[in-house]
């Protein structure tokens, strides 16, 4: 057995011992017949084991770094799988379920052959298997289910640009629109340079880590994989939509509001006809909340017909002058209250424009999950705590592509 394999075995064995010692410590701490001095001794022993584990992991990492020569195995058996192939394989799904059911994370899973493919996927995606700020990438089944469930939750992201990136920060290049056309030139005359040259600007983007903890009963964690994956997909899909919606609403509300309560129809028409560029207005969407939608639903146009008209191809979609009206809940897009007491007023925002030109939601890498059956309050409740991490950012590209109007409700 080589040195690297010996370290891997030691890490695995010590990790199992730590879990057992932690459970024993919990039981003794709850036993009133055990003296506090004995509990402190057990605690000190557990801390020492954790320090040994950290030292072993550091030694293992040095060995791996030293031995790395940048040459990948070749041949049908040694050839590395692509990241996509890994995430959609049954082997990856089984390893992921095993990690959750046994509280295995990035820190305590090194050397365990049953979760090796989880580390391989992190390396393939440019991640660092020994990092402490993330977890394992979710299997393709969960990732696909989360995307599907997002759509059913009517996220605001669908009305904006969306881009998956590999770096947490970066930039994109956008060009400004020309203002003048071609110039007249006599036959055989000289063509002069035009000072209306293309102008490009860099628009930086940045993302931040969004995380949360989900307690899962050990009964569910040990249930069949399909039930576990379905539960995780539903819960995290809802949380991701809430998070993304909040980020987009914050950017939308950076726009200056113009009150159109006196004549909402005229205000909406002016926004489409005058305030937005014709190219933007042609593909604009109208975004409001339930309160704003209710006000619009009771308005009549110049011919005394309802302002809102159902889409002839989709009865669940309403339009104003041919433009789709997207409705967010009042919880997602709350009304804006001004004043106090009896003089207080509440207004609903109405955003009109092309969200895909206005802003882009950036997502870094895949969604990551890590689990523990020891840390946090997991040992108190005989549960497994699952931590989800996503890296998200919203960047403004064209503030002229969207306008904000306000309607008293």
Each domain of the chain, given as residue ranges in start order, spans 1-67, 132-176+199-409
Radius of gyration of the chain (CA): 29
In this predicted structure, which of 11-25, 38-52, 313-327, 383-397 has the lowest mean pLDDT? 11-25
In CATH terms, is domain 132-176+199-409 a member of 3.90.1690.10?
Answer: yes
The encoded tokens of residue 406 equal 């306000």
Residue 248 — very low, low, confident or very high, per pLDDT cuts 50/70/90? Answer: very high
| Distance set, CA 81 to CA 91, 113, 130, 364 (Å) | 12, 17, 21, 21
252, 349 Cβ separation under 8 angstroms? yes
15, 52 Cβ separation under 8 angstroms? no
392 closest CA partner among 162, 212, 203 = 162
Cβ neighbours, 10 Å, residue 57: 20
3-class secondary structure per residue, the chain: CCHHHHHHHHHHHHHHHHHHHHHHHHHHHCCCCCCHHHHHHHHHHHHHHHHHHHHHHHHHHHHHHHHCCCCCCCCCCCCCCCHHHHHCCHHHHHHHHHHHHCCCCCCCCCCCHHHHHHHHHHHHCCCCCCCCCCCEECCHHHHHHHHHHHHHCCCHHHHCEEEEECCCEEEEEEECCCCCCCCCCCCCCCCCCCCCCCCEEEEEEECEEEEEEEEEEHHHHCCCHHHHHHHHHHHHHHHHHHHHHHHHHHHHCCCCEEECCCCHHHHHHHHHHHHCCHHHHHCCEEEEEHHHHHHHHCCECCCCCECCEEECCEEEEEEECCEEEEEECCCCCCCEEECCHHHCEEEEEEEEECHHHHEEEEEEEEEEEEEECCCCCHHHHCEEEEEEEEEEEEEECCCCCEEEEEEEC
Average pLDDT, the chain: 81
Q: How far apart are CA 276 and CA 323, in angstroms?
A: 14
Mean pLDDT of 216-227: 76
pLDDT tens-digit series, residues 276-323: 999 999 999 999 999 999 999 988 877 788 888 888 888 778 899 889
Q: Is the pLDDT of residue 405 over 80?
A: yes
The alpha carbon of residue 107 and the mean position of all alpha carbons in its chain are separated, in whole angstroms, by: 23
Q: How far apart are CA 260 and CA 37, in angstroms?
A: 71
The encoded tokens of residue 69 equal 């020569």
Q: Higher-confidence residue: 58 or 231?
A: 231
In this predicted structure, which of 125-129, 196-200, 257-261, 311-315 has the lowest mean pLDDT? 125-129
pLDDT value of residue 81? 57
Q: Which residue bears the tokens 């490009």?
A: 200
pLDDT value of residue 362? 94
135, 119 Cβ separation under 8 angstroms? no
Give the predicted TM-score (pTM) of the model. Answer: 0.69
Q: Which residue bears the tokens 């146009």?
A: 301
pLDDT tens-digit series, residues 343-399: 889 999 999 999 999 999 999 877 777 777 776 677 777 778 888 888 999 999 999
Mean pLDDT of 81-88: 76
């Amino acid at each position: 057995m080589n040195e690297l394999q010996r370290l891997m075995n030691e890490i695995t064995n010590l990790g199992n011992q730590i879990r057992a010692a932690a459970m024993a410590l919990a039981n003794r701490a709850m036993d009133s017949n055990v003296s506090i001095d004995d509990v402190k001794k057990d605690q000190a022993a557990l801390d020492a084991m954790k320090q040994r584990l950290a030292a072993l992991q550091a030694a293992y990492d040095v060995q791996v770094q030293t031995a790395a020569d940048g040459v990948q195995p070749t041949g049908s058996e040694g050839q590395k799988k692509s990241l996509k192939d890994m995430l959609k394989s049954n082997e990856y799904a089984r390893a992921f379920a095993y990690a959750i059911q046994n509280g295995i994370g990035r820190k305590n899973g090194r050397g365990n052959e049953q979760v090796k493919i989880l580390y391989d996927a992190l390396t393939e995606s440019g991640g660092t298997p020994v990092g402490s700020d993330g977890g394992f990438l979710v299997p393709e089944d969960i990732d696909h289910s989360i995307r599907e469930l997002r759509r059913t939750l009517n996220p605001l992201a669908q009305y904006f640009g969306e881009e998956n990136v590999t770096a947490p920060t970066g930039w994109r290049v956008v060009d400004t629109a020309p203002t003048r056309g071609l110039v007249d030139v006599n036959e055989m005359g000289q063509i002069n340079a035009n000072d209306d040259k293309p102008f490009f600007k860099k628009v930086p983007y940045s993302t931040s880590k969004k995380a949360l903890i989900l307690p899962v009963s050990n009964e569910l964690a040990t249930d069949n994989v399909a039930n576990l994956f379905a539960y995780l997909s539903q819960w995290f899909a809802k949380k991701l939509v809430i998070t993304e919606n909040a980020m987009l609403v914050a950017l939308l509300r950076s726009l200056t509001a113009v009150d159109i309560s006196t004549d909402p129809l005229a205000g909406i028409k002016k926004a489409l006809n005058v305030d937005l560029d014709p190219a933007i207005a042609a593909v604009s969407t109208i975004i409001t909340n339930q309160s704003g939608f209710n006000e619009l639903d009771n308005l009549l146009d110049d011919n005394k017909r309802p302002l809102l008209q159902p889409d002839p191809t989709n009865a669940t979609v309403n339009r104003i002058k041919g433009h789709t009206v997207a409705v967010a809940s009042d919880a997602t897009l709350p009304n804006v209250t001004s004043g106090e007491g009896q003089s207080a007023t509440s207004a609903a925002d109405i955003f009109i424009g092309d969200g895909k030109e206005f802003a882009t939601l950036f997502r870094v890498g895949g969604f990551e999950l890590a689990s523990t059956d020891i840390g946090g309050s997991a040992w108190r409740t005989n549960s497994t705590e699952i931590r989800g991490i996503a890296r998200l950012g919203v960047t403004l590209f064209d503030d002229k592509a969207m306008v904000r109007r306000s309607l008293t409700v």
